[in-house]
Amino acid sequence: MRILGKNIKSDIFNDSYLELRRWKKVYRKTLLIPQTSHSLKNSFRDNLALIHTLRYVTDNNSPFFNGKAEDLFATWDIISTSLTRLQSSMYDRNQWADVGLILAVPPQNIIGTFHKDVWFPNHAGNKSWETKNTYALTESYFNGTSKNPNDPKLKKYLKSAMPDKTYATMMSPESLIAKSNGIKHNEVLIVGKKDVNTYAEFPPTDRVKVCGIYFQYERGVKHKLPQYHQNRKLIEKLKQHNPDLPVIEHAVWGGDISAFSW
């Protein structure tokens, strides 16, 4: 197949037409989130969405504190995201952190799906303390290079998940969420920049839309209160540059989802 302008040994395109159509449904439903009134919030029950999660930081070095998130994503080559349920009758934890940005991702922007964290090196070749290497990210993608190559469990998983030793693998969103079992942090790799030729016979990549801020927290656990307040501060900082984004709260109580608010 040919992806990102390079021929590689993978059947991701030949086997992925139906999967990409299913990802298109996720994309279209996510686009509706900012347009949906508060009274219709339950229409998103069990809807799947891609989320780029963030951790609270004490300084202002995060690029998300200095500009609009959607504009920032448009400059990134490959972004790591997680697929999760916006609302569920069961406890789900498929994302890396409590707070994240909900992304509407065109299907042709999706170039890798994994039901576990694969530690993809998103900033390969672009670290401040290293000589800039514009080819390092592409090489990491095609060669299946991880940020944590010496972890024995990760090596075993990558060997089974990437039989062709490349991150070019594809699952439907339904298969991915089923394999994640609601407790594993899955990872979906997406292209952030527009006009990149990914799949043959598919249109080039398009702009990734940011449709909301996601917040999952557990009620009634006192030892987690500091973290809860830190996450609230993180959301406030995100809202400073993204004032129009709705905040979707996924509150957990005793293993069940107890609230969902905008």
Q: Say what percent of the chain tops pLDDT 70.
A: 63
| Lowest model confidence (mean pLDDT) among 147-156, 186-195, 203-212 | 147-156
Q: How confident is the model at residue 118 (pLDDT cuts 50, 70, 90)?
A: confident
Closest CA relative to residue 115, chosen from 52, 54, 148, 162:
162
Provide the H-helix boundaries in the chain: 17-31, 69-73, 136-143, 152-161, 173-180, 225-241
Q: How confident is the model at residue 106 (pLDDT cuts 50, 70, 90)?
A: very high
Q: How confident is the model at residue 256 (pLDDT cuts 50, 70, 90)?
A: very low
Which of 24-38, 43-57, 219-233, 237-251 tops mean pLDDT? 237-251
State how far the Cα of 162 lies from the Cα of 120, in Å rounded to an integer: 13
Asked if 177 and 184 count as a contact pair (C-beta separation under 8 A), the reply is no
Non-local CB neighbours of 150 within 8 Å, separated by 6+ positions: none
Whether pLDDT at 234 is above 80: yes
Nearest-10 Cα torsion for 228, 234, 235, 236: 110
State the average pLDDT over residues 81-110.
Answer: 79
State the average pLDDT over residues 222-232.
Answer: 75
Q: Say what percent of the chain tops pLDDT 90.
A: 28
Q: What angle do CA 77, 78, 81 make, to 5 degrees?
A: 145
pLDDT at residue number 69 = 95
Q: Residue 259: beta bridge partners?
A: 251
State the average pLDDT over residues 15-43.
Answer: 78
pLDDT at residue number 1 = 45
Query: Who has greater pLDDT, 187 or 262?
Result: 187
Whether pLDDT at 120 is above 60: yes
Q: How confident is the model at residue 238 (pLDDT cuts 50, 70, 90)?
A: very high
Asked if 118 and 167 count as a contact pair (C-beta separation under 8 A), the reply is yes
Asked if 238 and 101 count as a contact pair (C-beta separation under 8 A), the reply is yes
State the average pLDDT over residues 60-71.
Answer: 85
Environment class of 94 (CB within 10 Å of its CB; exposed 0-12, middle 13-18, buried 19+): buried
pTM: 0.81
Listing DSSP states for 183-234 in one string gives TS--EEEEE-SSS---BTTSPPP-PPEEEEEEEEEETT-GGGHHHHHHHHHH
State the average pLDDT over residues 202-206.
Answer: 89
Mean pLDDT, the chain, integer: 76
Asked if 53 and 82 count as a contact pair (C-beta separation under 8 A), the reply is yes
Number of compact structural domains in the chain:
1
pLDDT at residue number 172 = 94
pLDDT at residue number 28 = 94
State the average pLDDT over residues 111-122.
Answer: 80
Asked if 137 and 120 count as a contact pair (C-beta separation under 8 A), the reply is no
State the average pLDDT over residues 222-239.
Answer: 81
Give the domain range for residue 45.
2-261
State the average pLDDT over residues 240-244.
Answer: 93
pLDDT tens for residues 83-96? 988 765 455 555 56
